[in-house]
Structure 1
Amino acid sequence: MSATRREILARSGALGAGIAFTGALAELFTGTAAAGGLGHSGYGPLIPDPDGLLDLPKGFRYKVLSREGDQLRSGEGRVPSNHDGMAAFGGRQGRVHLVRNHENRTSGRIGVPAIEGLTYDPVGKGGCTALTLDRHGEVLGERVAIAGTAVNCAGGPTPWGTWLTCEETEDKAGTGGYTKDHGFIFEVDPVDPRRTGAVPLTAMGRFQHEAIAVDPRRGIVYETEDAFQKPFGLFYRFLPDRPLGGTGSLRAGGRLQAMRVPGVPDLSSIQETGASFDRVEWVDVPDTQAVQTPIRLQDFGKKGITHAQKLEGCYWGGRCVYFVSSFARSADGSASDHYGQIWRYDPDERRLTLVIVFGPDTDVQLPGESPDNICLAPSGGLMVCEDGNGAQHVYGVTRRGEVYAMARNAQNTGTVEEPEWGEFAGVTFSPDGETMYVNCYAPGTTFAVTGPWRRR
């Protein structure tokens, strides 16, 4: 298969501290690419893991921190299934606190155990678990952080050290046996979950949440909506009444707005990297609780609102917020096809820019298809979780715009004739940048990866 079929285009301005994507990135997966490595572009070819769990470059090693079905260290039950979004927080004496989502519904393999004082709806099987690691990376504790929620997909950390976990559903009480409405964001304290409890942040909207990112200067929270059926999701911002007020401040309320890009009803119609739009508008959401009508279906006036299929990962870098559209398919109703976009919004300039386009002629057996969770790497580049078809990777993008495979899921949940691999999710780094943590969605596995990380 020719390398041009795996071309990834990338062009943008600065990302964080001096990170830039420039030019066209063609023929990236040549030479050692068949083995998953990209030579000088990354850390070398991926070495097949003799234990069949995680393939990494030479010099890197992994440790399994937690696996679904094992007993929680707290004695509260078994480790839940469907490991998804995650973040790492620094603690005292070099400890690291991990908060991990579990994307369960009312049924599934293993739900999050219901714990008194931490359970929102006893019928919901989603939620979060929290791991505490010592300075050497050994697991000291593992417990339920919130329970009784639904379809906890991604989320994001706050500047005051908490995790916002997002429900990717719009189910109301009575649907599937739920006793309460779902589709909210919940705040989770990674050190003491009982400080935050199980209280929905209703002012932040009720919709199919995916991820969030917080502007550390203004306290504005940006939110993505993962809707793959038309009408597609929206990109939101929440203006808190008490910005940057610490734990509990988001409960004080605020205004929820949706992004309108004049003249662009569907972001998938934009295909050229570097395309930029000034004068982005923000429109108040008519009914944030979606009592009768889902927000994306509500009336935003004659000018309408801007939609996008599969809005997923979201993060803050430098002075901008970045968000991901995992894919778009014209067969589903999108204006155009793509295998992934990354957008940048600059709030100072009110400017939206298309940073990266993946595909559409991407080989799904190699990195470069359907980006999902995303984070900054110690090298100053990006780490991106792939959520598509075929082999599943964590892949990186260097500051020079080169793409390389960092990890490959070796856990075949299918057959030899028809192999299947679960997606990666929740990629994040320890505060000192020495360890990459990442989840395999199914079978639910949390890895800690160490090695010769290049420093920024």
Structure 2
Amino acid sequence: MQRRHFLRVTALGGGALALGSLGYWRGVYAGPPEPGPGPYGLMASAPDANGLLLAPGFTSRVIARSGDTVPGTDYTWHMAPDGGACFPLPDGGWVYASNSETSPNGGVSAVRFSAKGEVKGAYRILSGTSINCAGGPTPWGTWLSCEEFPQGRVWECDPTKPGQGVARPALGAFTHEAVAVDPVGQRLYLTEDTQDGRFYRFTPAKWPSLEAGTLEAARVTGDVFQGAKVEWVPVSAESSASEQPAARETTVFRGGEGCWFDGGVVYFTTKRDNRVWALTPLTNRLEVLYDASRYPGAPLVGVDNVTVSRARELFVCEDGDDMQVCLLTPDRKVSPFLQVMGHRGSELAGAAFSPDGQRLYLSSQRGTNGRGITYEVTGPFRTSAA
């Protein structure tokens, strides 16, 4: 934990840059990591009772363990918990939906919480699917669960009650990872988790229905560290763009992972080159916010699921490495926020905030013994940007 604490990313050309603006993080260069605390302080030197290193004022609890009954319910939690999101309920409570990245019995489970954070129920919202990796929430309150295998589909689920999701073939048949919805531009953006994956956008024929629409893949021109331009090439929804004649006109993204929309920006990660990207749909401008190869010894390696706090901080889960959730902040710092100890061979996934922004949910997919653990972290999260 002590070997990599904190990194300040310096902008070329000067000027105030902020996550979510139209001219943020415009090009970065490598600099040595500076030891020091992140915005929430240094993580503790010893793990808590649940095996987590946390910043001062933060506490954790275990919500569920794979193969065991969710405490306070009669529902058995799924194996290999992966991507997730929270959804507000009319009574002030919320639901946390969580994918199961297993085959053949993947799908999605959900935990319902009261307004006080008490577990009030757990149930299945999607069955009969495989390798449900990540996905994304919609503004109309559904969960889009993505299947991560060739010819995989996106399934739309109602997280508020037990049920069965509906396949959305118009969103493509490929190795899906995650999806983010832009409610202003009325489009969806999707990542593909393969070595020669593409980055897609979907324009519904009739918003917000996902039954039909136009699928396109990105073609990038220019310097992604200074701000590149994205054009969109129509592709078939029947297979990966890499298998189509249009592939030569589109850009390869090496192992697309998490994807999240916030403040007019689509953030996504690519694991094979350890990058965090930002696309501004309004201008079709694409930038690399973070590239681990430019920061030897930096804290964030193995980028995976991503979410954004109310303070416009990017929380990025690590797949492997030292099992941290790291964050990128508007003042251009990259630092570890928490670390799960003793989970060798696992990965962190499913990072999502409760509607009030005060609770962070995440899972260690394989835990210490091959069985996943889903956590809740509570504490003084910032709820507005500095």
Taking structure 1 as the reference length, the TM-score comes to 0.75
- Residue matched to 2:126: 146
The equivalent position to 2:353 in structure 1, one of 404, 408, 429, is: 429
* Conservation of the 8 A alpha-carbon contact between 1:6 and 1:359: no
The equivalent position to 1:164 in structure 2, one of 106, 120, 144, is: 144
Query: Quick one: structure 1 residues 438 and 446, their matched pair in 2 at CA, closer, same or farther if it must change by over 3 Å?
Result: same
The equivalent position to 1:86 in structure 2, one of 84, 87, 93, is: 84
* Conservation of the 8 A alpha-carbon contact between 2:10 and 2:332: yes
Query: Quick one: structure 1 residues 401 and 297, their matched pair in 2 at CA, closer, same or farther if it must change by over 3 Å?
Result: same
Distance 2:300 2:175 in 1: 25
> Pairwise mapping of residues 273-312 of structure 1 onto structure 2 (< 5 A)?
273=225, 275-278=226-229, 280-285=230-235, 287-290=236-239, 294-300=240-246, 304-312=249-257
Structure with the larger strand share: 2
> Pairwise mapping of residues 85-164 of structure 1 onto structure 2 (< 5 A)?
85-105=83-103, 124-164=104-144
What one-letter code is carried by the residue in structure 2 that aligns with 1:394?
V
* Conservation of the 8 A alpha-carbon contact between 2:366 and 2:373: yes
Q: Deviations over 1:373-428 (max 9, x none)?
A: 11112332111101133x11011122211122211112x24xxxxxx252111111
Say what the alpha-carbon RMSD is for the aligned residues: 2.8
The equivalent position to 2:365 in structure 1, one of 438, 441, 450, is: 441
Is residue 386 from structure 1 mapped to residue 386 from structure 2 by the alignment?
Answer: no
Is residue 323 from structure 1 mapped to residue 268 from structure 2 by the alignment?
Answer: yes
Distance 2:10 2:268 in 1: 15
What one-letter code is carried by the residue in structure 1 that aligns with 2:117?
G
Distance 2:242 2:165 in 1: 26
Query: Quick one: structure 1 residues 260 and 402, their matched pair in 2 at CA, closer, same or farther if it must change by over 3 Å?
Result: same
The equivalent position to 2:181 in structure 1, one of 193, 214, 218, is: 214
* Conservation of the 8 A alpha-carbon contact between 1:10 and 1:355: no
- Residue matched to 1:236: 200
Distance 1:82 1:4 in 2: 28
What one-letter code is carried by the residue in structure 1 that aligns with 2:364?
C
What one-letter code is carried by the residue in structure 2 that aligns with 1:305?
T
The equivalent position to 1:260 in structure 2, one of 219, 227, 244, is: 219
Give, in angstroms, the shift of residue 7 of structure 1: 6.0
* Conservation of the 8 A alpha-carbon contact between 1:134 and 1:140: yes
Distance 1:277 1:349 in 2: 10
Distance 2:189 2:259 in 1: 8
What one-letter code is carried by the residue in structure 1 that aligns with 2:126?
I
Distance 1:298 1:8 in 2: 41
* Conservation of the 8 A alpha-carbon contact between 1:313 and 1:373: yes
Query: Quick one: structure 1 residues 406 and 7, their matched pair in 2 at CA, closer, same or farther if it must change by over 3 Å?
Result: closer
* Conservation of the 8 A alpha-carbon contact between 1:157 and 1:163: yes
Return 5+ residue gaps in structure 2 as ranges.
none
SS of structure 2 residue aligned to 1:88 = strand
Percent identity of paired positions between Structure 1 and Structure 2? 33
Give, in angstroms, the shift of residue 259 of structure 1: 0.8
Query: Quick one: structure 1 residues 401 and 138, their matched pair in 2 at CA, closer, same or farther if it must change by over 3 Å?
Result: same
SS of structure 1 residue aligned to 2:242 = helix
* Conservation of the 8 A alpha-carbon contact between 1:218 and 1:243: no
Query: Quick one: structure 1 residues 400 and 25, their matched pair in 2 at CA, closer, same or farther if it must change by over 3 Å?
Result: farther
Q: Deviations over 1:177-232 (max 9, x none)?
A: xxxxx5000001111343xx33210011000000111111132011000103xxx0
Query: Quick one: structure 1 residues 147 and 24, their matched pair in 2 at CA, closer, same or farther if it must change by over 3 Å?
Result: same
Query: Quick one: structure 1 residues 261 and 345, their matched pair in 2 at CA, closer, same or farther if it must change by over 3 Å?
Result: same
* Conservation of the 8 A alpha-carbon contact between 1:260 and 1:281: yes
- Residue matched to 1:205: 172
- Residue matched to 1:177: none
- Residue matched to 1:111: none
The equivalent position to 1:250 in structure 2, one of 210, 224, 230, is: 210
What one-letter code is carried by the residue in structure 1 that aligns with 2:356?
D
SS of structure 1 residue aligned to 2:349 = strand
What one-letter code is carried by the residue in structure 2 that aligns with 1:16?
G
Is residue 314 from structure 1 mapped to residue 278 from structure 2 by the alignment?
Answer: no
SS of structure 2 residue aligned to 1:15 = coil
* Conservation of the 8 A alpha-carbon contact between 1:7 and 1:362: no
Distance 2:168 2:292 in 1: 34
Distance 1:191 1:49 in 2: 34
Distance 1:19 1:377 in 2: 20
Is residue 15 from structure 1 mapped to residue 11 from structure 2 by the alignment?
Answer: no
Return 5+ residue gaps in structure 1 as ranges.
31-37, 106-123, 171-181, 265-269, 329-339, 414-419
Query: Quick one: structure 1 residues 144 and 406, their matched pair in 2 at CA, closer, same or farther if it must change by over 3 Å?
Result: same
Distance 2:363 2:198 in 1: 26
What one-letter code is carried by the residue in structure 2 that aligns with 1:439?
S
SS of structure 1 residue aligned to 2:210 = helix
Q: Deviations over 1:225-246 (max 9, x none)?
A: 0103xxx0000011111113xx
* Conservation of the 8 A alpha-carbon contact between 1:163 and 1:187: yes
- Residue matched to 1:57: 55
Distance 2:383 2:82 in 1: 27
Structure with the larger helix share: 1
Give, in angstroms, the shift of residue 359 of structure 1: 2.4
Query: Quick one: structure 1 residues 6 and 349, their matched pair in 2 at CA, closer, same or farther if it must change by over 3 Å?
Result: same
What one-letter code is carried by the residue in structure 1 that aligns with 2:242?
R
Q: Deviations over 1:327-360 (max 9, x none)?
A: 23xxxxxxxxxxx112222222222222221225
Distance 2:295 2:31 in 1: 12
Give, in angstroms, the shift of residue 60 of structure 1: 0.8
* Conservation of the 8 A alpha-carbon contact between 1:392 and 1:408: yes
- Residue matched to 2:281: 347
